[in-house]
Amino acid sequence: MEQSGRTASPQRFQPLDEELVRLVAGGDSDALAELFRRYAGAVYSLAYRMLNDREGAEELLNEAFVRVWRQAPSFDARRGKFSTWLMSVARNLGIDELRSRRARPQRADPLTPQDAELDPADERVDVEADVWNSERRRLIREAMRGLPAAQREALELAYFEGLTQSEIATRLGDPLGTTKTRIRLGLQKLRDLLLSGELGAEIS
Amino acid sequence: MTHGDVRDLIAPYVVGALEAPESVEMEEHLEGCGFCANLAREALEVVHCLPYVAPQRPLPGGALERLLTSISGGASGIYRTSTIAEATALAPAAIEARAPATERKGRRWQTWFRSPSLFPVAAGFILVAGMAAWNVSLERELGSERREMDVMRGRLGQQSHLLLMVTSTASMARPLQGTALAPSAQVRLIMDGESNSAMLFASHLPPLGSNQVYEVWLGRQGVRVPAGTFQVDQQGDGECSLQLDGSIHSYDSAWITAEPARGGPMPNSPGIARGAL
Ligand SMILES: [Zn+2]
């Protein structure tokens, strides 16, 4: 179909992320700005969730995209998509920052454990220009809400705060075995929810 | 570690909650065991959704300007001088390195860029791409029969339309434009080349008369092929898993029309929405 030369509404079609990364690798800062437009909201939101402070989240956001700029030439689209890679970069930066904060006594624990309940108010904030990202976020959060609170909390402590199973058990005052089970069941259930057709029916 | 031990630890491993020694043991096992590696990859696809659980925050002002200054050798942030290691993918190489399906996709997309009017919307299809990769690996490593593969792929296309929405390198989305009959219609066709499946998602379509359905048509060189029917709810929202009579890449256009119940072999009414693929 790509050879047909049809041009209906070409303005609706945008370059793929991977194409933009290729341009970034060639030094195109406009392409970087476009990737930023697409994903900065998601990266910043992830960073804020992890670090729980605005300044730290801004630093992380900036650094994640500086790495996109620097590492674009070695990005290999065959190994996975750009957004997955970007989010992994951001999450790893967040984990490292959290560890280094924990190691700094003067900033002993700036983090208050966040309630595992999802904040419904933020649903109204449409900071992502990309409708796909908003939709994806909505669906994933919907699935996450379907988890029992204890499982969700265990997963969030692991993913967003970088805690190990035993740290999570200590934090929540649960036996280690219970924590292990919650993580395992939580991930399994989340997968089932993401796959379930019931959620799909709510797509608007 | 036995396979059983590993399976119990896959979830904490992929969310990064294992202690370092266990993590190393896991990686050693996964490198040598395709079956467990497949399970881990499958779990990882779910983990790739987790960043989007974070509540959305409005971007601080000036963030882009700051980035552009940074890359032009300007202001440095704390990370410039910190000891933070170069970030690598969350997933262990043992898992991510096996992605035959993704590899093929990569090459295909490359050629698509040469046609500037057809830049596909980047839709981010983690799960479908991943599951397709999983299927391919499973076939290779466990010797599943091809027919079984086809059934699995078919089921993937039918059941997991949510995944199509969520997930991307193998899939792409094309908008269809509402015609004068349905100016506010929002319609997206999502196509996954790997599983050769497609789903249509429609919003704000006009209500149907009794005994009517919406029918989707795919065009190929001037010939319209019926591809499925669907109903809409009170908001005019509906969806449809399309039946394809050939490669998804062989179609050049799509329409929706309102038709008598059960649809028909030829369109009987003007289009409600249409678009080039
Ligand atoms: Zn094994």
Per-residue pLDDT tens digits for A13-37: 568 888 899 999 999 999 999 999 9
Interface mutation target, options B67, B113, B158, chain A, most CBs of A under 10 Å: B67
* Same domain, residue pair A91 and A175: no
Q: Which residue has the higher pLDDT, B249 or A8?
A: B249
Residue in A12, A62, A119 closest to B77 by CB: A62
Mean pLDDT of A105-134: 47
B208 burial class (0-12, 13-18, 19+ CB within 10 angstroms)? Answer: middle
Residue in A80, A141, A180 closest to B96 by CB: A80
* Same domain, residue pair A28 and A104: yes
β-bridge partners, A155: none
Residue with tokens 């970030």: B87
Residue A17 lies in a domain: yes
- Establish if A120 touches chain B: CB-CB under 8 angstroms: no
Chain A hits for B112, CB-CB cut-off 8 Å, are 2, 16
Q: In what order do the strands lie in the sheet with B197-203?
A: B223-230, B212-220, B253-260, B271-276, B171-178, B186-192, B197-203, B238-241
Q: What is the structure's pLDDT at A172?
A: 92
Residue A201 lies in a domain: yes
Instruction: Return the DSSP state at B56.
Output: P
Residue in A36, A59, A100 closest to B64 by CB: A36
Q: Do A126 and B64 touch (CB under 8 A)?
A: no
Q: DSSP for B57-68? A: -PPPTTHHHHHH
* Same domain, residue pair A103 and A21: yes
Ligand 1 centroid distance, CA of B11 (Å): 14
Q: C-alpha angle A72/A37/A201, rounded to 5°?
A: 105
* Same domain, residue pair A76 and A134: no
Mean pLDDT of A110-139: 51
Mean pLDDT (chain A) is 79
Answer yes or no: are the C-beta atoms of A67 and A90 closer than 8 Å. Answer: no
Q: With cut-offs at 50, 70 and 90, classify the pLDDT of residue B78.
A: low
Res. A186: pLDDT tops 90? yes
pLDDT tens digits for B152-190? 344 444 444 444 433 434 456 788 888 888 888 888 887
Q: What is the structure's pLDDT at A167?
A: 95
A45 vs A119: CA distance, rounded Å:
13
Taken as a whole, chain B contains a residue count of 277
Q: What is the structure's pLDDT at A66?
A: 96
Q: What residues make up the domain containing A63?
A: 11-108
Reported as half-sphere exposure (CB side, CA atoms, 13 A), residue A100 has a value of: 14
Residue A46 lies in a domain: yes
- Establish if A16 touches chain B: CB-CB under 8 angstroms: yes
Q: Which amino acid is present at A145?
A: R
* Same domain, residue pair A157 and A97: no
Q: Which amino acid is present at A66?
A: V
- Establish if A104 touches chain B: CB-CB under 8 angstroms: no
Q: DSSP for B196-214? A: TEEEEEEESPPPPPTTEEE
Interface mutation target, options B6, B19, B41, B52, chain A, most CBs of A under 10 Å: B52
Q: DSSP for A63-127? A: HHHHHHHHHGGG--GGGS-HHHHHHHHHHHHHHHHHHHHHT-GGGS--PPPPPSS--GGGGG---
* Same domain, residue pair A103 and A133: no
Q: With cut-offs at 50, 70 and 90, classify the pLDDT of residue B114.
A: very low
B171-276 to CATH, choices 3.30.559, 3.40.640, 1.25.40, 2.60.40 = 2.60.40
Give the total number of structural domains in chain A.
2
Q: Which of A98-107, A167-176, B76-85, B101-110 has the lowest mean pLDDT?
A: B101-110
Residue A44 lies in a domain: yes
Ligand 1 centroid distance, CA of A147 (Å): 28
pLDDT tens digits for B20-71? 899 999 999 998 888 888 888 888 888 988 999 999 899 999 999 999 999 9
* Same domain, residue pair A73 and A154: no
Chain A hits for B166, CB-CB cut-off 8 Å, are 136, 139-140, 194
Res. B258: pLDDT tops 80? yes
What is the CATH classification number for the domain harbouring A18?
A: 1.10.1740.10
pLDDT tens digits for B36-45? 888 888 888 8
Mean pLDDT of A35-56: 94
B276 vs B258: CA distance, rounded Å:
19
| Lookup: tokens for A60 | 């992380």
pLDDT tens digits for B120-161? 222 333 334 334 443 443 333 333 233 333 433 444 444 444
